[in-house]
A and B are shown apart, each in its own frame.
Chain A
């Protein structure tokens, strides 16, 4: 039993439950820190703590595959790249300048709105991994650990959900090509560069330079 709400069962010490509350508390606090601390860099660190706690909760739920992916993708790649971008901005050592008076209230309003939306969605949907179970016509409302194993996830991704999976990979490929196209140094035609040394070659050159790009 990876996670039980039976917190009062003291005869078997509920280490999972304890760990869950620890992770949840740290996650909430660090999530608050992301939006409240003055320095953007500290907010980034708090976000990474939040991600690590999410990985811990995945592991507690009996899905270590998701936990490892959370660490690998979110902590290792996304958060690091985000911090990287934050560090390259100017004057990050100083605290953030004071915001306007209405800004906190606007943020509060937006977050309350989002929270309400999420609450409506969560409370109106049925959990218990019915979506996973229905495809094999073995519906059960309890959390089935075997359905969360790595082998099962792989099989589901490549048999019933093969088309969306492949579609996502096509989208990622398109993004990759777009990023390369954006980052690539343009082949300037010699006429644009305007240096006198290149100028004599300019009548012959444009034919060879790719005009499509």
Chain B
């Protein structure tokens, strides 16, 4: 505990020395980017958004390109994707899971239900009207459910937030990924070609080439 705490707070103390910021700037840049590129998300799905979450994690969209992969334990995960409707019965569990996560931790409210109660359950007696009533949310993603592209854009937004986040300081305002993200497939195409296996043919169920 002592060593780990020293390791974590070391940079904070080192920055107080005169002229240390020149040395610490590249170190901080490295640490920020390291944290941004290894956001392990929690294996946690609540409703139909979880299906889109699984689709994003699988071959076509591939979370692993961002360095994200699932951990089943909240202690080891960095980001919690609230994928689906949070019922009042589930809400204490969601809060408990958030409390079990280790700092720095981030929350993405995925879809309408997690953001504000949703398009279908807005008048339901048993649904929490937005997960930000119990835990702080960093990124809201619109959609019901959001397309995988929108979720990827939300994760890129989380990465942007991780890079500027400093431990113990208030985190900035929440980022909102709008409806237009769902329509456009802009998420990652500019950065990396989405498929490296153009030579592989996708065959449909009858064994013919997929158009």
A and B touch in the complex (CB under 8 A): no
Which A residues have a C-beta under 8 Å from some C-beta of B? none
